[in-house]
Structure 1
Amino acid sequence: MTSERPFVASLGDPLATRHGRTGGKGANLARLVAADFPVPPGVCVTTAAFERLVDEATESEISTLDDLDPTATVDVAERSEAVRTTIRERGLPSAVREAISGAVEALGAETFAVRSSATAEDLPEASFAGQHETFLGVADTDVPDRVLDCMASLFTDRAVSYRLRNGVPNDDVAMAVVVQAMIEPDVAGVLFTADPVTGNRRVASVDANYGLGDTVVAGDVSPDNARVDRTTGELIAYEVGEKRRTRRTKGRGESGTETVDVPAERRTDRALTNAELTTLVDLGGRVEACLGGPQDVEWALVDGSFVVLQSRPITSLFPLPTPTPDDGALHAYLSFGHVQAMPEAMPPLVLDFWRGFFDRGVAAFVDGEDAGALGAAAGGRVYVDVTPVLRVRWLRDRFTDRISVANEPVADGLRELLRRRPEAFSEERPTAEARSVARVVRFATGEFRSVVGGLARTVVSDFVDGPPDPDEELAWVTAWGNALADELDEPTTLADRTRAVFDRLDVSRVLTEPVPRIGGHLLAAVLAGRLLRRWFPDAHAEVDALGRGFEAEVVTRMNQQLGDLADRARGSPAVLTALQRGDDLDTIATVDGGEAFVEDVEAFLQTFGHRASGEIDVSRPRWRDDPGTVLGTVRSTLEHDTAGTHVDHLSRLDREAVAAAADLDHRAARGVLGPLQRRLVDRLVRTYRGGIQLREYPKHGIAFYFAAAHDVVETAGRRLVAEGHLDHVEDVWFLREAELLAALERDGPTTVNVERRRREHDRVAVMTAPPVVTSEGETPTGAVADPDRADVLTGTPVSAGVVEGYARVVRDPTTETLAHGEILVAPSTDPGWTPLFLNAAGLVMEVGGRMTHGALVAREYGLPAVAAVEGATTFFETGDRLRIDGSQGTVERLDVE
C-alpha cells in the first residue's frame, strides 16, 4: 500500500467507482451516486485498509486455501475458521480505525449499515451474493469492529467453497466495506428487473415486506410478490404474503435489530400500491440502464420515497440469443443441441460455424434474398429462430409434432409459448422472416422440387423394388463425406482453407445431397413401420424387435469391431497387461502380440477415427487424434465382459427380429386374404428393416467434414501460436470467424482477450440450457414433475421395457466406464457414447427424443430407456437403485435396505 491510497472514500468520490478499490457493492453504489440515484449517504472502507490488515504471514495462510477440495466441507470449514481467527486477532491497524471513526462521525447518523464489498462479488459473471457479512443498526462506536468482521468474512467457509467451485484464487480477492447511514423504512425488499424464474427480461418481480428488507433477503417471512410488465406497466399479478413479522433497528444508541410481530389486521394488506410499484419498477429500469444488465436491487420506501440500498447483476439468467431481432416482435428459438442430443456449451468459433450453417443454407433456399438471421447463439449453445414457421398457421402444428419426435421438451416449450402468447405469432403481423417462409415455399415448388422428387422416387423404389444394399449405401455416404472433406484441401492458402470450413457446408447442401437418397430410405422405413403398427396394434413389441439386430448398422459395426479388439487383447497376455497399465499405442506395439493388436486398432480408426463424442462441437478432438479414448473403451470391455459377448448379443437380437417377422407373418396369414396379406406384410417388414438400419449413416458421412474442419482450424491455431499471436493452439477456438480470418490474412496480432472468453465459456457451460428461449429471455417449459412422487422423474419413453439396476452417472464417456448391468444416466448421448451401451441395462438421458441417437441405440440393443429427464444427472447419484419404465417414461429411485 502507498500513502496515496486512502483507507476510506466517500461514495461520491469518483475513485470509489473503481471495482478494485471499493469492491463490487461499493463500486456499484458509487456509480449510482454519480448518476444521482437516491442512495443513503455513506463511505467505503477501501481495499487499501484490507491490504494493511493482511500481513505476509496471513497472505501465506490464505494462499493454502486454494489446495482444498470444495467438497471436503469439514476441511474447508476448519481452515477457513483458522484464517478468520488470524484476521480478527490481528485487528485493524490504528490508522485504519481512526479513518473509519472520523468518517462515521462526519456522516452524523445514529446507527449505520455495514456491508461487505468483496472484489469478487457483484460481477456480471458471479455475484457471490450472501457469501459475506452484513450488519444493520450498528452504533457508531461499534462500526470499526463490524468492519473487521466483514473483512474476516471474506473467508467464511461458504465464500471459500464458492470461490473454489468458481475457480477464483483466494489470494486474488480483497475486501472493502460499505458504511452507510441507517434508515428506518416503512417497506423494503428486493426488485429483480428481469423475472428470475422464467428469465423474461420484460417482466419485473418485486418482493416486499414491512420494515427492514433483510427479512425478505433472508427468507424469514412470506413477502408480497408482484410481477409487472416493464413495457406496458401492467400489473401481471400481485400475491399478498403473510408478512407475520418485521424487523427494525433497536435504536437508543444500541447496536443490532429486533424482530416484532406485525398486527394481524396489517398482514393481509398490500405492502405496495400500484402507483408505488410503477415508481419502483421505473427506478429499477434506470438502475439496470446505469449498471448495464438485469439487476437484483435491494430497495427501501421511506416517507413515500424510494432509495437504493444495493444492486448486483442477476448472474443466473441464461443469456439472450444473439444477434437480437430488429423488428420489435417476439421471436422464439429452439436449441439445436437439444435436437441433436448434445446440449453442452461450445466455443465461439464453433458457434459461428453453426450459425453460418443455417443462415447460408436458408439464403440459398430463397435464392439470395435476405431471409434474416435464423442461426443464433446463447450461452455457448446454438439456437435456431423458428419464428417464421410459428407465424404460419398450417406449418406450426406440423412443425411441433415433428420436433416432438426428436425432443419432446422442445416441442412442449413451443406449445406452451404458443398457448400463452398467441398474439405474438399471429399471421396478421408478419415479419420479414415470416415473409421469407413464403419465399421458401415458392422456391420449394421450383428448384427444390427435385429434392422432394428424389425423396419420393427413393420411397417408391424401396416399396416396389425392395430395400437398399446397406454396404452400397455406406460406401456412398462415406464417399460423399470424404468428398466434402476433400474440398477443404482445394484452396492453396491456409486462410482460404479456413474460410472454406465456414463456406462449404450448410443446411441446403445436406438437404439436397444425402437427404434424397439416405433420407428417402429412412422415410420409407418410417412409413412401413407406421403401417405395421396400425395393422397390428397389439404387436408393438414385435415391431420394435424388427428394428434391432442389424450387422450393417453403423453403430453396430463400431461396437462389433471394438468387441473384436477386446477379444484379440484377451488372446495376448502382454497386450492385456499393457492395456490394464494404460499404455499408449506406441508402447503396446512393443510387447508380444502388440503389433497385430495395434494394426487392428489402426484399421478401426481408418473406418471410425473421424468420429468423436459430442462431435457437432467441431473443436473436440476426433478419435484418430486421441486413440486413448478407443483404448479406454476396450479396457472397459475387458473389465466387464467376457469373450464373444458382443457377437452373442447381436445374434440374440437377430433371432428376436426373425421371430418377430415370423409372428407377424403368422398373424397376416389368417383369413381368406391371408396369402395377399402375407406378401404385403413381408414387403413392409423388409422395407422397414432395410431402411431403419441406415439411420446413423448421414451423421457418419458428415462427420468426415467435421474431422477435416477440426484439422484445418487446429493448423491455423498452430500457425498463430508459432507467430506469437496465441499462447495455446486450442485458443483458436475462442476467436470468432472474422477474427481468425483477419489474423491469418493480415499476419498480424490478435487483440482478443482469450482468457476472458474462456472464463465466460466456463461460466455458461455450467448453466442448464433451455430447450426453448425467446428474444425476451423467457424459457417456456412444458409439463412439470409430479410433486407427490418425490423419488420419480418423468421424461419421454423412447425404448420399451422395465428394468431395475444400479445407476452410473456418466458425464464424460472418454474417461468413465460402465459395469455390466448398470443403468447409464447421462446428459445426452451420441455415437461417442455407444461403447458404453455394451454393458448397460438401461438408459436415462436429460435431453433427447424418440429419434435421437441414444433412443435409437437403446432400441437396437433392447434397453429400456427414457429421454428428456430434466436434472437426472444431479437428482440421481451413482449407486442409486433405479427402476426404469421405458414404456411409461418414468425413472424411480428405489429404497435400498
Structure 2
Amino acid sequence: MTTALDFSEIDAGMPAEVGGKAANLGELTRAGLPVPPGWVLTTEAYRQVAQGLQPGDLAGPTLAEQARRHLLEAPVPAEVHETIVTSYAALGDDVPVAVRSSATAEDLPFASFAGQQDTFLNVVGAQEVVAAVRRCWASLWTDRAVAYREANGIDHASVRLAVVVQVMVDAQVAGVMFTANPVTGRRRESVIDASPGLGEAVVSGAVNPDRFVVYEGEILERHPGDKRILIRPRPGGGTERLETPDPGPAVALDVPEVTAEPAPASPNGLDPVAVPSGGFCLDDVRVRELAALGIRVEEHFGAPQDIEWAIDADGVLWLTQARPITTLYPLPEPTRPGLRVYFSLNVAQGVMGPLTPLGLETFKLVSGGAARLFGYGSKRRLDGPAFMTESGGRMWIDLTTAVRSRVGRTVLPRMLTLGEARTVAVFNRLAEDPRLPLTHTSPLPALRGAFRFARGVHAPSRVLMALTRPNRALAYAARVGEELDRKLKLPADITPAQRLDHAERTLAGTFPAIVSIMPIVITGYGLFALASKLSGVPVDQMQDVLRSVPHNPTTEMDLELWRLATRIEPEPFLRESVPELVRLYRSERLPPKAQAEITVFLAEYGHRGVAEIDLGVPRWSEEPAHILGVLANYLRMDAGVDLAPTAVFAKGVEQARAATANVMAHARGKGRWRAAVVRFGLRRTRTYAGLRELPKFYAVKAIAAIRQSLLVVGAHLVEAGVLDSARDVVFLTFDEIRSALNGDSGLRALVGERRVAYELESRRRHVPRVLLSDGTEPETLVATAHEGALIGTPASAGTVTGVARVVLDPIGAHLEPGEILVCPSTDPGWTPLFLTAGGLVMEMGGAMSHGAVVAREYGIPAVVGVPDATHRITTGQEITIDGAAGTVSIS
C-alpha cells in the first residue's frame, strides 16, 4: 500500500488514508487554490509503526503515556524511512517544511480537533523531518488529544495518524480567517486575524492580532492589535519568538479605507500587495482579497471554513490549512424568503438535546393541532404549521411576523418575560434592527386568531364555570383526562397500519382537547392579578400565596415518590448499584413491598421521563433506573422530620394562608368589599394554579401511550426483517414507517445514519434561544456581563447560601440536602431532585417556566435565565442566590 501521496493525488474522500487535514489540503490543491506544495505520509505508515500498540488494553492515566513511549521508541520501518527521505528530497534541497499531524478523527464536521496534535515548523533536513514525523505520531496520544476523543465519543483504537509535509511559507504576515463570524454565527461575514511573521503567533494566542470583519466586500470593522510578539523562522531550522517594539496606543479606525498600489501579478493569479509598514499589517485591498478567497474556499467545501493563510515576502497569498467551523449551529430550513427570526421551541420546553425523527413528527402533529385553533393549519398535518421548521434535530418557530408587528412588539415581550425572560432583551434589540422594520400595523389578524382560539376551546363558558362552579371546573379537568384514556385504548387485534393511523390522528387532535383546561388556569392567574391591584400589594410580593398549591400532578408525583421511599424496605437500596436494582426489579426480586409499591407508582407515573416531549425517548416504565436511583438517594439521606419534603409542603400551605391573610388585610384597609373580592380571587387562584401542569401531563401520557403502540409496530417490522430493533422505529417518519409496512426493506442504513446524527447532536453543548436565518445569534449582541454577580431572572423569593451541584443530566444525579441545583433547564423529569435542593439556578426560563413554578411551590429560592451558569459555576463552590433580586454570587 502507498505510504506517500502528493497533494494533487488527494481528495476529500480520503480521510481514512490521509487524515482530515491532508484531505482538505488535497481538495484545495485540486481546486486550483493557492496551497504551498507538499505531500502526506499516509496512515499506513502509522499502522506499521504502531503494530503492537493495543489501545483497548490500556486504561486510565497510563494510556497516553504508554502509547507515546511506544511510538517514540519503536523502529521506523526501512521502507517508511526511505519514503520520507525521498519524498522530502523531491521538494528541493534542504527546503524548509512544516510537518503537521493529520489524524483520521480531525477536521470533522462535528469536531475540529484543532491543536490536539502537534505541528513542527521550519524543519530542515531529511533526518529532522523523520524525527518530526515520529513526534507527530506520538502526539496522537497527548493527554489533551486522548481527553478530546473521549469527550467526543471517538474510539481510540479507530484513530490513525497521517503526517503532512508542506513547503514553509516565509511569511511576512499570516493569520487565520473564519468565513462565518465565530462569535455571532453570521454566515458570509468573514473575520480575519492578522499579525507579522508566522501564523503560529495568531493560532496559539501568543499575540493580539489586527482584526477585520468583512461582509459582502465591505469592511465593517477594523481593530488594531498590539502585535507585541513575532514568531519567525531561524536560519537552519526551528523558530524563534521575539518581542516587537511597543507601537503605542492602538485606536480602532473608522476612517476612509486605506489603499495601496498593486504589485505585478503573482504566479497563482493573485495580486501581490506590499505589506504596510506601521499601523495595520494589512491594507484594505488585501483584506478584501482574503475575504473573497475565503468565500471561494467555503463555496468549494459547501460549509463555513476556518482557514490559515500566509503572505510571503513577494506579497503572494497562500492557504496553509482549511477546516470546517464546528461550533456554528446549523441553519433552520427556511420558512420564507428574506431575513427570518427563529425561536427555539426546545429551549422553551426545557429540552436542550435533539428530538428523534419520530419525536419531531410528533411535535409537528401536536403543534399543527394548536395552529388550527388559531386558523393557521397546514394542508397536510404531517408537515406541521408553516411557521415551524427544524435544524439540528430541534424545532424552531418563525417569529418574524411578531417582530415586525405592532401587536407582536407589545404582546410577545410580556409573554417571554413569564417563560423565557432572557429572550426579551434579544427581542427588543431585533425590533430596532433596520432589516426588520415594522410592516404589520393592524391588530385585526391577531384579534381574529385570538377569537378563533377562544371559540375553539370554549373559553367564555370555561371562564364562567371557573368563576362560579369550582368543583365543576375541577371535574371537567379530570374528565378531559378520562376521555383521553378512553381514546388511547386500542383493541388487541388492531393491525400495525391501523396503529399508525391511530397515532397520527390522536396526536393531531390531542392539543385542542387538553388545552381547553387553560381558560380555567388563566382565570385563576387573572384573579391573582386582580387581587394585587385591589390590595395594592405588588405581584412579586404575593408569591407565597402560590406555595404548595393543590391539584398539581407534578408536585403530587414528587411527593408520592418521597412517601414511597418512607414505606419500602431500605434493603437492597442502601447497598446495591442502580443497575443491580434495575435487574432485581425487572426480575421481580426486590423485597415484596418495594416491588409492589414501585409497580403501582410506575403504573400511575411511568409515562413520564426526562425530555418526555420526545416520543422517541424511553419512559420511566421502560427504563426505571432514574426512579430507582432517586429512591436509593432518598433512603441514604438524613433529612430530618422538619426537612422532609412532605413537612416542607405542609409548611408551604401555612405560609400561603398567612400570605393570603396579609393581602386581605391590605385590601381591607382600602374597603371591606375589596377584602371580600381578594379573598374570593385568591381562593380560586390556589384552586386552579396547580392545573397549569395538567395539559402537559395529559399530553405526555398520550405521547407515551402512542410510543408503546408504535413500538409494537417496530416489533412487527423486526419480524418482517426490516429493522434490527423495535426501538429503531423512532428514527423513521410516519411516511417511512407506512412505506416499511408496505414492503420497503431498505431502511436499515437510514436508521443507522440518523442514529449517528442524533448521538452527535446530543453532545452539542450550546443551543441558541433565537437564531436568524443568516446564522446570527442575536443574544451574542446583547450585553449580559455584570460585575460581582451572575444576573438572571427572579423566580422564587428567598436567599440561600450553599454548595453548588452542577447537573447536566438528572439520571443518576445525587443531591445532598441543601445543595443548590445548577442546571441548563428542567422539565418534570428533573423535579424529584427539587425535593432535596436548597435552591435552584437555571440557564433557561422565566418566572412562569416549569422550574420556576415548581421551585415556588416547594419554597426554594430560585434564579433562572442565568447565562452560562453551568460553565461559570462549578460543583463544590459556595454560592449565594437571591431569588427576589435574581442574582447569584460566587464566594
Q: How does 1:184-223 map to 2 (within 5 A)?
A: 184-223=170-209
1:480-499 alignment to 2 at 5 Å?
480-486=483-489, 492-499=494-501
Q: 2:746 aligns with which of 740, 749, 758?
A: 749
Q: How does 1:3-18 map to 2 (within 5 A)?
A: 5-14=1-10, 18=14
Aligned with 1:501 (options 492, 500, 503): 503
Shift in Å at residue 298 of structure 1? 0.5
Contact 2:368 2:377 in 1 (8 A): no
Shift of 1:427: 1.6
Q: Which amino acid aligns with 2:20?
A: G
The residue aligned with 2:770 is 772
Q: Which region of structure 1 is more displaced relative to structure 2, 644-653 or 232-241?
A: 644-653
Please list the CA deviations of residues 309-351 of structure 1 after superposition, one character each: whole Å capped at 9, or x if unmatched: 1101111111211x23452x11111111221222222223212
What is the alpha-carbon distance in structure 2 between the residues aligned to residue 425 and residue 734 of structure 1? 40
CA distance in 1 between counterparts of 2:404 and 2:498 reads 39
> Given the alignment, which residue of 456, 462, 484 partners 1:458?
462
State the 1:455 CA deviation. 1.9
Specify the alignment match of 2:259 in structure 1: none
Equivalent position to 2:45, from 43, 49, 53: 49
1:540 is displaced (CA, Å) by 4.9
Aligned to 1:514: 514
Task: Report the Cα offset of residue 216 of structure 1.
Answer: 0.6
Whether 2:404 is the aligned partner of 1:391: answer: yes
Write out aligned runs for 1:168-183 (5 A).
168-183=154-169
Change (3 A) 1:715 1:534: same
- Report the TM-score when normalising by structure 1: 0.88
Q: CA deviation at 1:15?
A: 6.5
What corresponds to 1:72 in structure 2? none
Scaled by the length of structure 2, what TM-score is found? 0.89
- CA distance in structure 2 between the aligned counterparts of 1:307 and 1:891, rounded to whole angstroms: 49
Partner of 2:813: 816
Cα distance in 2, alignment partners of residues 264 and 866 from structure 1: 46
Aligned-partner Cα distance in 2 for 1:820–1:872 = 21
* CA RMSD after TM alignment: 3.1
Give the match for residue 64 of structure 1: 57
Deviation (angstroms), 1:225: 0.7
Q: 1:258 corresponds to which residue?
A: 240
Contact 1:50 1:175 in 2 (8 A): yes
- Of 291, 296, 303, the residue aligned with 2:306 is 296
| Mapped pair 1:128 → 2:113 | yes
Structure 1 residues not aligned, in runs of 5+: 69-74
**Structure 1, residues 186-244: CA drift from partner, whole Å, max 9, x if none?**
22111101111111113111101112111111111100111111xx3221111011112
Could you tell me which residue of structure 1 aligns to residue 286 of structure 2?
A: 276
2:358–2:615 Cα contact (<8 Å) kept: no
Query: Structure 1 residue 138 and structure 2 residue 123: aligned?
Result: yes
Which residue of structure 2 aligns with residue 237 of structure 1? 221
Output the CA distance in 1 between the equivalents of 2:33 and 2:738: 45
Distance 1:657 1:367 in 2: 42
Number of aligned positions between the proteins: 851
Distance 1:701 1:38, change over 3 A: same
SS in 1 for 2:300: helix
Q: 1:86 to 1:562 in 2, by over 3 A?
A: closer
- The whole-number CA distance in structure 2 between the counterparts of 1:578 and 1:115 is 50
Contact 1:112-1:140 within 8 A present in 2 as well: no
Spell out the pairing of 1:402-481 with structure 2 (5 A cutoff): 402-419=415-432, 421-427=433-439, 442=448, 448=453, 450-451=455-456, 454-463=458-467, 465=468, 467-468=470-471, 471-481=474-484
Instruction: Give the distance between the partners of 1:684 and 1:423, measured in 2 at CA.
Output: 45
Once the two structures are superposed, what CA deviation does each residue of 1:28-51 show, in whole Å capped at 9, x if it has no partner?
Answer: 111111111111111111222222
Q: Distance in 1 between matches of 2:48 and 2:576?
A: 57
The SS at the match of 1:892 is: strand
From the superposition, tell whether residues 268 and 744 of structure 1 become closer, same or farther in structure 2 (CA, over 3 Å).
Answer: farther
Question: Where in structure 2 are there 5+ consecutive unaligned residues?
Answer: 248-275
- Determine whether 1:29 maps to 2:25: yes
Q: From the superposition, tell whether residues 582 and 884 of structure 1 become closer, same or farther in structure 2 (CA, over 3 Å).
A: same
- Matched with 2:360 is 351
What amino acid is aligned across from residue 112 of structure 1 in structure 2?
A: V
Alpha-carbon separation, structure 2, partners of 1:780 and 1:259:
39
Cα 1:611/1:79, change in 2 over 3 Å? closer
Decide which of 868, 871, 874 is 1:877's aligned counterpart.
Answer: 874
Q: Is the 8 A contact 2:182 2:327 kept in 1?
A: yes
Query: How far has the Cα of 1:291 moved from its partner?
Result: 1.8
Partner amino acid, structure 2, of 1:342: V
Q: How much has 1:590 moved relative to structure 2?
A: 6.3
- Distance in 1 between the 2:349 and 2:590 partners? 41
What is the percent sequence identity of the aligned residues? 34
Relative distance call for 1:601 and 1:136 in structure 2 (3 A) is closer
Q: Counterpart of 2:319 in 1: which secondary structure?
A: strand
The one-letter amino acid of 1:89's match is E
Distance 1:651 1:368, change over 3 A: closer
> Is structure 2 residue 532 aligned with structure 1 residue 533?
yes
Question: How much does 1:729 deviate?
Answer: 3.3
Structure 1 stretch displaced more, 653-662 or 25-34? 653-662
Are the counterparts in 2 of residues 9 and 16 from structure 1 also a CA contact under 8 Å? no
Q: 1:127-147 CA distances to partner (integer Å, 9 max, x unpaired)?
A: 111111211211133222222
SS at 2:195 equivalent:
strand
CA gap 1:574/1:82 in 2 versus in 1, 3 angstroms: closer
Q: What is the distance in 1 between the residues matched to 2:601 and 2:697?
A: 14
**Partner Cα distance (1:887, 1:209) in 2:** 48
CA spacing shift, 1:638–1:155, aligned 2, 3 Å: closer
Any idea what SS the aligned residue of 1:863 has?
Answer: coil
Greater CA deviation, 696-705 or 264-273? 264-273
Note the alpha carbon deviations across 1:396-451, whole angstroms, 9 max, x for none.
331122122101123333333333x33235428x9xxxx9x987765655x54513
Which segment drifts farther, 793-802 or 87-96?
87-96
> What's the offset of the Cα at 1:642?
5.2
